[in-house]
Chains A and B, each alone.
Chain A
Amino acid sequence: MESMVVANMRSRPTRTFISVLAVAIGVILMLIIGGIVSGTLNDYLNRTMSVGADFILQPSGASIFYAFNNATLDGRIAQKLRETSGIGAVTPVLAMMNVSEFGLVFGIDLESYNQFPGRLQIVSGTASLKGDDVIVDELYARVHKLRPGSHLTFKDHDFTVSGICKPGAVVRVFAPLATLQDLNGTPGKATIMFIKVAPGAERSEVESRLRGTYAGYGLTSTQDETLLLADTKMPGLKEFQVVVIVVSMLLSFMVVLVAMYTTIFERTREIGILKSLGASRGFIVAMILKETVIISGLGVLFGIVVSELARKAIIHAFPTLQVSMTWPEVLTACVLGLLGGALGALYPAYKAARMDPVRALTYE
């Protein structure tokens, strides 16, 4: 039967190619769109962790995705926190979205920020962040062809690059806190506070103390695993991922359904011949499903290869964009691609199996 399945595919190369392509497009959609979303989020979370803070203080109910939050945190809290026992460092940050580049800019107080392990490591220029200064990381500088002294416009404000830091910091662009507070119209306000426990202090004790004192605020421990699962908390993200998966599966399902449905009508007489030879309904269903599995399998393989090439091309063209493609994601795309195709073949297979052999044999 295998040879018949292969012979059928070879005898209708256009249909086979289009079916393979449709399954591949579904897989590419899943891997690339899903990869960009999860890659960007994971990168963002990793960067957040890289600051080296033990806790993040935010207004109650605020998202870990700072871009969604307004700067409503009173900056004076920073000083109160520093006076709390067991706390070694505190730095207020105002996060602003640079909509034109879909990237975050952090307004920081460089002195307090650099008390954290993830301090900015300047590779060229100076570690200065005053007035209209801005520090960018090497990748951002390379992409935008910036160097110390270059100009950068953000929120219709002209900044001058004072220094270039190593990549890996929480964002790629840092501006003075006060300047961003003015630009944002929220003087004295911050989006978050990074908090570091003092050397020798007991982390759990500090946490309980903070939770007691700042009960009306949101306190996230960077050791909290739910922070790493924050992508599940992003509003609409899960729904978006489900939509991408459903659209991809529907694509495979519908193209395979139409292709196989057309095929069984083209092959009506052949199905009659198979029945006259004593082929059972199971044999005919298996034949159609085998063909579909091969088509879907080829589509999945093709999709994975193209996705990997596309991922490399995207990263090459947009170095600041992260596209993740992990084995679990690839495996999920494989399973869903095959499943979409197999589901699409079920109805045509059922129709073929139930065909009247005498009518099928006389079909012109």
Chain B
Amino acid sequence: MNKAEMAYKPVEYSIRTVDLTMVYRSGRVEVPALYDVDLDVEKGEFVAIMGPSGCGKSTLLHLLGGLMQPTSGQILIDGTDIAQLGDAERTSVRRLKVGYVFQRFNLLPTLTAQGNIDLAKKIHGNGHLNPYKSEEIFEMLGLSDKIHFRPSELSGGEQQRVAIARALINHPAIILADEPTGSLDSRNSQQVLRVLQTLNERLKQTIVMITHDSEAASVASRIVEMRDGQIFKQASHLAYEPELEGLL
């Protein structure tokens, strides 16, 4: 099957990238970040992306979330090529289909946990269609007694769980997690990974998670390893054996 046929194949993937290339430009200097990346993520799949610093993992995640436009190639999100869309349309796709979880939690410091969740609902605009209420999500994430706390009053693990609740509140089809355990100790890391795994199993949400941690990656159903802006190898987590030095 050639690439053109793949691009028009009936949608069965949550995410597909075709020849995805990203080159950063700074004046006359061009810094390549991704070359011809072809990545398929099935609906409901949990994919971990690993690789050394500078290999293009974060760039890939930002492109998948429509936070930037690629130099060339396609990014199909539920069949819509967001690489062809303008800023407003990409924002709309992100709002409706994507939930982000960041390494540094990125909660708004002036708002309480509940305020952060409400803001996400407000931005989404269709919060009333969500099958889950904030209370249920807080319950599921063990945050029921923390909803009136501000981020500065929460532990790192609690903040990350609030960030996950925020990503989850609008029931996005895809959750993009950028090193969600990168700022956590091992106990909190385990807690957050369990939450992500549960979400994937119970809510059937597609999760793409960047991580440096092979133990974290082991909760995913598939591990994709990147190197120098390209996919170096990929395998199910059971079959995956890291080969790169300095990967961890």
Interface string of A1-44 (1 = CB under 8 A from B): 10110011011000000000000000000000000000000000
In the bound complex, do residue B88 and residue A281 qualify as a contact, i.e. CB atoms below 8 Å apart?
yes
Q: A3-B118, A358-B67, A358-B68 are in contact. Are A275 and B110 (CB under 8 A)?
A: no
Residue A269 interfacial (CB < 8 Å): yes
Residue B124 interfacial (CB < 8 Å): yes
Cα separation A111 to B96 with both chains bound (whole Å): 89
Residue B138 interfacial (CB < 8 Å): no
Instruction: Determine the residue in chain B with the shortest Cβ distance to A10.
Output: B110
In the bound complex, do residue A358 and residue B108 qualify as a contact, i.e. CB atoms below 8 Å apart?
no
Closest Cβ of chain B: how far from A11's Cβ, in Å? 4
Q: A7-B115, A275-B91 are in contact. Are A358 and B106 (CB under 8 A)?
A: no
Please tell me the size bucket of the interface on B.
20 to 34
For B118, the chain A residues whose CB sits under 8 A away are 3
The interface on chain A, measured as residues whose beta carbon lies within 8 A of the other chain's beta carbons, has a size of 24
Q: How many A-B residue pairs have CB under 8 A?
A: 70
Instruction: Determine the residue in chain B with the shortest Cβ distance to A280.
Output: B91
8 Å CB interface, A252-275 against B = 269-270, 272-275
Residue B165 interfacial (CB < 8 Å): no
Residue A247 interfacial (CB < 8 Å): no
Closest Cβ of chain B: how far from A9's Cβ, in Å? 9
For A3, the chain B residues whose CB sits under 8 A away are 111, 115, 118-119
In the bound complex, do residue A7 and residue B67 qualify as a contact, i.e. CB atoms below 8 Å apart?
no
8 Å CB interface, A266-291 against B = 269-270, 272-281, 283
In the bound complex, do residue A275 and residue B124 qualify as a contact, i.e. CB atoms below 8 Å apart?
no
In the bound complex, do residue B110 and residue A269 qualify as a contact, i.e. CB atoms below 8 Å apart?
no
Residue A45 interfacial (CB < 8 Å): no
8 Å CB interface, A152-182 against B = none
Cα separation A27 to B53 with both chains bound (whole Å): 56
Closest Cβ of chain A: how far from B45's Cβ, in Å? 22
Interface string of B81-103 (1 = CB under 8 A from A): 00000011001101110101010
Cα separation A274 to B107 with both chains bound (whole Å): 10
Which residue of B65, B109, B119 has the most chain A CB atoms within 10 A of its CB atom? B119
Residue in B88, B92, B108 whose CB lies within 8 Å of A270: B108
Residue A361 interfacial (CB < 8 Å): yes
For A358, the chain B residues whose CB sits under 8 A away are 62, 67-68
Residue A107 interfacial (CB < 8 Å): no
Closest Cβ of chain A: how far from B137's Cβ, in Å? 15
In the bound complex, do residue B98 and residue A278 qualify as a contact, i.e. CB atoms below 8 Å apart?
yes
Residue B120 interfacial (CB < 8 Å): yes
For B68, the chain A residues whose CB sits under 8 A away are 356-358
Instruction: Determine the residue in chain B with the shortest Cβ distance to A279.
Output: B123
In the bound complex, do residue A277 and residue B62 qualify as a contact, i.e. CB atoms below 8 Å apart?
no
The DSSP consensus for interface residues of chain A is helix
Cα separation A169 to B153 with both chains bound (whole Å): 71
Instruction: Determine the residue in chain A with the shortest Cβ distance to B120.
Output: A277
Q: A3-B115, A358-B62 are in contact. Are A276 and B88 (CB under 8 A)?
A: no
In the bound complex, do residue A283 and residue B123 qualify as a contact, i.e. CB atoms below 8 Å apart?
yes
Residue B133 interfacial (CB < 8 Å): no
In the bound complex, do residue A4 and residue B123 qualify as a contact, i.e. CB atoms below 8 Å apart?
no
Instruction: Determine the residue in chain B with the shortest Cβ distance to A353.
Output: B87
In the bound complex, do residue B119 and residue A4 qualify as a contact, i.e. CB atoms below 8 Å apart?
yes
In the bound complex, do residue B108 and residue A280 qualify as a contact, i.e. CB atoms below 8 Å apart?
no
Cα separation A3 to B117 with both chains bound (whole Å): 12
8 Å CB interface, B140-195 against A = 166
For B123, the chain A residues whose CB sits under 8 A away are 274, 277-279, 283
Closest Cβ of chain B: how far from A93's Cβ, in Å? 67
Residue B233 interfacial (CB < 8 Å): no
Ranked nearest first, the 8 interchain pairs of A and B with the lowest CB-CB distance are: A278-B95, A7-B110, A11-B110, A278-B94, A276-B100, A357-B67, A273-B106, A279-B123
**Interface on A for B, CB 8 Å cutoff?**
1, 3-4, 7-8, 10-11, 269-270, 272-281, 283, 356-358, 361
Subset of 13 A-B contacts with CB under 8 Å = A4-B115, A7-B111, A8-B110, A273-B106, A273-B107, A274-B119, A276-B65, A276-B94, A277-B95, A277-B120, A277-B166, A278-B91, A361-B102
Given contacts A4-B115, A11-B110, A279-B123, 10 further A-B contacts (CB under 8 A): A3-B119, A7-B110, A7-B111, A270-B108, A273-B106, A274-B119, A276-B67, A276-B100, A358-B62, A358-B67
